[in-house]
Amino acid sequence: MSLNTAQNIIETDGKFFRSGSDRLWLRAVTYGPFPSDPTPDLQRDFALIKSARFNAIRVFTLPEKPFLDAALSQGLLVFAGLNWRQHEDFIARPNLFSSARIKLISWLHKHSTHKALAGIYVGNEIPSDLVRWMNPIKVREALETLIETGRKAAPHLLFAYANYPSTEYLEPANADFSAFNIYLEDRDSLASYLGRLQNIAGDRPLIVSEFGMDSLRNSQETQAETIGWALETTYAEETAGITIFSWSDLWENNGTEVRDWNFGLTGRDGTLKPAYSTCEAFIPRDFDSPQNKFSIIVCTRNSEGRISACLNAIGSMVGGPFETIVVDDGSTDSTARIVSRQFPTLRLISIPPSGLSAARNIGAENATGEILAFTDDDCEPDREWIIRLERAFHDLSVAAAGGPNLPPSARNPIEAVILSTPGAPSHVLLGDKRAEHLPGCNIAVRREAFKKIGGFDPSFRTAGDDVDFCWRLHDEGFELAFVPGAFVWHWRRPSILAFFKQQIGYGKAERLLIEKHPDRFSKNGEARWDGFVYGGGPVRVEEDSVIYHGPMGQAGYQSITNRILPLRPVESHFQSPYTNFLFSTVSILQPAFRRWFRNHRISLPKFSNKTSDSKDSPEELAVPCGNETDRDAILAHFISNQWQAAGKSDAWDLRKNETRLLIAMERLDYEHQNILIRIWGDVRMVRETLESLATAP
């Protein structure tokens, strides 16, 4: 089979994966790397892995054909790992990065069409201090280059980077899914952090790419219990899967056997631990029978080309009982005829042209469900939309709930530009699971809450009604829940002209919002959100980002603040000088159009004029040392010599007088490291402190 005819084994499906037409929750276990002796028994191990209900294996290397064949014989998917010199400064030494690209291309040309191979991790946990040293944006761009390199060679495979909490900000924009290695020993902490990661992931699936418990420092029973609730929690928190670390206590790192950790489901001699039985016994629990009846309300006008797709998607949903009401707001085309003929069991209500809010209110008046769920005629709800929303209402404090609206893949360059441009409906979150605003294309509300605030305001005829609706819910003290797995596919406007017409409509609606809610807008007419506006793209480091590394870069969880929306990138196969120019032009004009029809004035974005200060160019040192040298100990030594720690968002670690330092460790191999020191100021003073470190007891 050639590369061009290879088939996808699994594909992304919104926030999840699918294999063929079936949704697939990924259950993987890491395998190796092992010492050279003894040779692992692949057939025995893979049969046991399959018996424990795993459907995938993650390896940290690029395996050869016998390994892939053995996995295929047991029906196991393989996620391979590009092992390269990522723990060294590959930005300063581009040959390291070039070698990684060549290695990836060469291996893919040999093995990418193997039927067991599902995806590639292009890196794993690049140390946070080294990322900071090399520049986070440059490291992110390097990872994106590796992903694009692999995708060109094997477009049917999935590509990602295995991140970890110390570099939350390092998400590649072009990965197929977000993957995080997480080691949390508390169930509630894991659930809470997964909520955060769902929002960092944006539109794409979230995978826990490593989770484990050491049975050397804890008992084997504790290990089994922990892995049990981790499986339950990752499934309940709507991830796309989990990877247990690891299959065996027997493994090596940089050519040396690791003997002071026992993370395996099996012992060094191959005996099965209780954690193996826990994995074997875990079966994801089906959704409970709904406690509330839903009424799905679709308001439409002149949608003859799209209404069938919307209603077919609704008809395919699980999670009944629910009713579907279509409110035809004065269509002049064949919309009503299509609905009545093709969907005779649905309730069709035809009204004179009255506007979107009025149509939604009429739908609500005729609904019989306890929960009113609204979507638009250009949306196709996921088949699990209602049943995932329904779970949010088990919390009686929740009055409304909704999830993301995801654009289907672009069919042409114009669509690719539009789905990446600012201006699409977005959710606004106050926390990881509580919303300030949910778009009207994906919102469900309790009937009593809907009535209490008087429904939608009919003065909003085309847009803005959902913003006003959510603000009034908040004013009444109601809670809005965000459910990341309850998504709808939302087709964006098909042309640039239609997109700008939509933005003009949004601008006019915002003028009405300003009149009704003046305290929620600035003097410039910009909405004052208490929460964070999500644009669909993964939350990642950009030029204006502020990264909270913690003092001296030591924070275990290093978060980020962006001044702009994390947008979706233009799909790579549509990127060209033409689409790049069009994207830049539309991105500039979109807020200008919207602002003019909101405020009757135009202001274009301000561009930064940042220049580097040549007088502040740093000097760098690379000091060889053994693997026993610890960065924390080096920092502590400098502190003991009257150096001061930096703040949590500073780009340097230590300061003394006017001299500043940034310190990182470059891991060359298991026995050798370099202490990397970047110095702004007095190099002599730094050398003196280093010399005293060498003579310290």
Q: Closest Cα to residue 197, out of 174, 175, 171, 231?
A: 171
Give the pLDDT band of residue 106 (cuts 50, 70, 90): very high
Q: In the predicted model, is pLDDT for residue 597 greater than 70?
A: yes
Q: Closest Cα to residue 618, out of 554, 683, 568?
A: 683
According to the model, what pLDDT value does residue 246 have?
A: 95
CA distance 131 to 291: 48
Give the pLDDT band of residue 600 (cuts 50, 70, 90): low
CA distance 627 to 579: 48
Task: Give CATH for domain 614-695.
Answer: 3.30.1370
- Across the range 285-307, mean pLDDT stands at 90
Task: Give CATH for domain 294-536+576-599.
Answer: 3.90.550.10
According to the model, what pLDDT value does residue 594 have?
A: 82
According to the model, what pLDDT value does residue 8 have?
A: 73
Q: In the predicted model, is pLDDT for residue 164 greater than 70?
A: yes
Of the given ranges (95-99, 194-198, 276-280, 619-623), which has the lowest mean pLDDT?
619-623
Give the pLDDT band of residue 572 (cuts 50, 70, 90): confident
Residue 524: CB partners within 8 Å, gap ≥ 6?
599, 603
Residues of the chain with CATH 3.20.20.80: 3-281
Q: In the predicted model, is pLDDT for residue 488 greater than 80?
A: yes
According to the model, what pLDDT value does residue 564 have?
A: 65
According to the model, what pLDDT value does residue 192 have?
A: 96
- Across the range 502-513, mean pLDDT stands at 89
Q: In the predicted model, is pLDDT for residue 254 greater than 80?
A: no
pLDDT tens digits, residue range 532-544?
888 888 999 988 8
According to the model, what pLDDT value does residue 43 have?
A: 95
Please give the share of the chain, as a percent, with pLDDT higher than 70: 96
pTM over 0.85: yes
Q: Which DSSP symbol is given to 567? A: B
According to the model, what pLDDT value does residue 609 have?
A: 42
Residue 462: CB partners within 8 Å, gap ≥ 6?
355, 356, 505, 508, 509
According to the model, what pLDDT value does residue 625 have?
A: 87
CA distance 501 to 123: 43
Residues of the chain with CATH 3.90.550.10: 294-536+576-599
According to the model, what pLDDT value does residue 4 have?
A: 39
Of the given ranges (43-52, 60-69, 130-139, 288-297), which has the lowest mean pLDDT?
288-297
CA distance 551 to 644: 10
According to the model, what pLDDT value does residue 614 have?
A: 40
Give the pLDDT band of residue 377 (cuts 50, 70, 90): very high
CA distance 595 to 73: 60
pLDDT tens digits, residue range 452-483?
999 999 998 888 999 999 999 999 999 999 99
Helices (H) and strands (E) counted in the chain, each on its own, are 19, 33
Do 56 and 27 contact (CB within 8 A), yes or no?
A: yes
Options 3.40.190.10, 3.40.50.970, 3.20.20.80, 3.10.20.90; which CATH number does 3-281 get?
3.20.20.80
Q: In the predicted model, is pLDDT for residue 617 greater than 90?
A: no
According to the model, what pLDDT value does residue 694 have?
A: 67
According to the model, what pLDDT value does residue 18 have?
A: 95
Q: In the predicted model, is pLDDT for residue 2 greater than 60?
A: no
Which residues share a beta bridge with 662?
Answer: 678
Other beta carbons less than 10 A from residue 607's beta carbon: 7
Residues of the chain with CATH 3.30.1370: 614-695
According to the model, what pLDDT value does residue 399 have?
A: 97
- Across the range 384-391, mean pLDDT stands at 95
CA distance 73 to 584: 49
Question: Average pLDDT over the chain, rounded to whole?
Answer: 91
pLDDT tens digits, residue range 215-237?
999 999 999 999 999 999 999 99
pLDDT tens digits, residue range 121-160?
999 999 999 999 999 999 999 999 999 999 999 999 999 9
According to the model, what pLDDT value does residue 563 have?
A: 65
According to the model, what pLDDT value does residue 394 have?
A: 93
pLDDT tens digits, residue range 410-446?
999 999 999 888 888 889 999 999 999 999 999 999 9
Give me the residue label for tokens 């001299």: 659
According to the model, what pLDDT value does residue 697 have?
A: 57
CA distance 181 to 125: 8
- Across the range 91-114, mean pLDDT stands at 97
Q: Closest Cα to residue 119, out of 202, 21, 28, 32?
A: 28
Q: Closest Cα to residue 104, out of 61, 57, 44?
A: 61
